[in-house]
Amino acid sequence: MDFFHYQQNQLMAEQVPVKHIAEQFGTPLYIYSRATLERHWHAFDKAFGHHPHLICFAVKSNPNIAILNVMAKLGSGFDIVSQGELERVLAAGGDASKVIFSGVAKTEAEIARALEVGIRCFNVESEAELERINQVAGKLGKVAPISLRVNPDVDAHTHPYISTGLKENKFGVSVEQAREVYRRAAQLAHIKITGMDCHIGSQLTELQPFLDATDRVIVLMEQLKADGIELEHLDLGGGLGVTYRDETPPHPTEYAKALLDKLKDYPLEIILEPGRAITANAGILVTKVEYLKRNGDIHFAIVDAGMNDMIRPALYEAYMNIIEVDRNLTREPQVYNVVGPICESSDFLGKQRTLAIAQGDLLAQRSAGAYGASMSSNYNSRPLTAEVMVDDDKAHLIRRRQNLDELWQLESVLP
């Protein structure tokens, strides 16, 4: 069941007409469905059944504290990549002992704060970082739990900008070097090795790359065993893709079964870091048609949401579905490039879309719950959009629209 569906040709978010929410809060506007978020999280959790596991929601996909709070109430863990994300998790009521800290550039201050609140584990991305964590933990009189992020050199078959598990990517430590780095970690007084980590990319629509990566990780685990290093958990990262158009990514059940089959001789706790698979299809971006115009043969629908609000099409040429909010209106269908107000030719939400619209109508870009609001900016001095979460028949404002004077609030002129 799709919680964004049409009822009498009106797009609904759960039980609330999207049109009413847009009238109340204005556009551009992100709307999320709580029931969808919960269903997606449970799909991962149930997929691993009784096997010891922890689902750590990837905060970067959507860091709004209302979303994090929904996750926290489900008992979720969190995958973070900055102190900002850590503080958000804590502000949202998340449990520090279920936080995994990834990221290639952790600063001393970030490491110290994570140790102070007692996170579950650092996913270490280089030998230099390992040394730094040991030093900071030493100064604080603590022992830091770590796992090494292994870069298995596997092609994730996804967009090159969101592939992370190839030799040429900056992430993790190569499988060849990892054994040495683990040996070093075993000697450090303020480090406790607890696991191994591997995240090969985002929007993966096939199982095979996950399985290939797991095979490489298993070889390394065997080497560590020979070195007397035993692990408690294996973190297989995030990356499971979603349907934006016609992709058919594996269901979490299929994904979990394949991984657990491969790991049947290894009684380790499994940690996962899904982001997109939980949030993408739990959100839409609602935008108003400001103008229709034609330049030569091309029809443009100029809308009030731009690449500053949703950068995925501009950055990755990502396809995202665009639909009418009100299908009762009798309009002539036309093929449009749906473009935003930003002064960049890459500012589009979708190209070559058949839509039946007129000036003033509302459109919804689907699958916008992941890496939408999260990656938005103030470019062209446009305020951040409002965000709403629908819970059954109620729409709650979870971020108010930024005011114009807040745009220069951090700035000052010379005396």
Ligand X SMILES: Cc1ncc(COP(=O)(O)O)c(C=O)c1O
Ligand Y SMILES: N[C@@H](CCCC[NH3+])C(=O)O
What does the binding site for ligand X look like in residue numbers (CB under 6 A)?
A: 58, 61, 79, 102, 164, 199, 202, 237-240, 273-277
**CB atoms < 10 A from the CB of 256, how many?**
23
**CB atoms < 10 A from the CB of 1, how many?**
6
Q: At what angle do helices 83-91 and 65-74 cross, to 10 degrees?
A: 60
- Is 343 annotated as catalytic? yes
CB 259 within 8 A of CB 222: no
Determine whether the annotation assigns residue 273 to a binding site.
Answer: yes
Nearer to ligand Y, 300 or 319 (CB): 319
Determine whether the annotation assigns residue 344 to a binding site.
Answer: yes
Nearer to ligand X, 276 or 288 (CB): 276
- The residue annotated as part of the active site, out of 56, 121, 198, 343, is 343
Residue 387 touches which member of ligand X, ligand Y, none, C-beta under 5-8 Å by kind: none
Report the C-alpha gap between 40 and 58 in whole angstroms: 13
CB of 192 to ligand X, least distance (A): 21
Determine whether the annotation assigns residue 239 to a binding site.
Answer: yes
What residues make contact with ligand Y under the rule CB under 6 A? 60, 162, 202-203, 312, 371
Please list the residues that pair with 229 across neighbouring strands.
Answer: none
Determine whether the annotation assigns residue 399 to a binding site.
Answer: no
- As separate numbers, helices (DSSP H) first and strands (DSSP E) second, the chain gives 11, 21
Write the CB contacts of 217 (distance below 8 Å, at least 6 apart in sequence): 150, 152, 196, 198, 234
Nearer to ligand Y, 324 or 347 (CB): 347
Helices in 302-415 by DSSP H: which ranges? 312-316
Nearer to ligand Y, 60 or 179 (CB): 60
Residue 312 touches which member of ligand Y, ligand X, none, C-beta under 5-8 Å by kind: ligand Y
Q: Which amino acid is at 255?
A: Y
Determine whether the annotation assigns residue 312 to a binding site.
Answer: yes
CB of 290 to ligand X, least distance (A): 31
Tell me which residue has its CB nearest to ligand Y: 371
To 10 degrees, the CA torsion angle through 387, 391, 393, 398? -30
CB of 270 to ligand Y, least distance (A): 20
Q: Which residue positions form the known binding site?
A: 239, 273-276, 312, 316, 344, 371
Residues within the annotated binding site for substrate?
Answer: 276, 312, 316, 344, 371
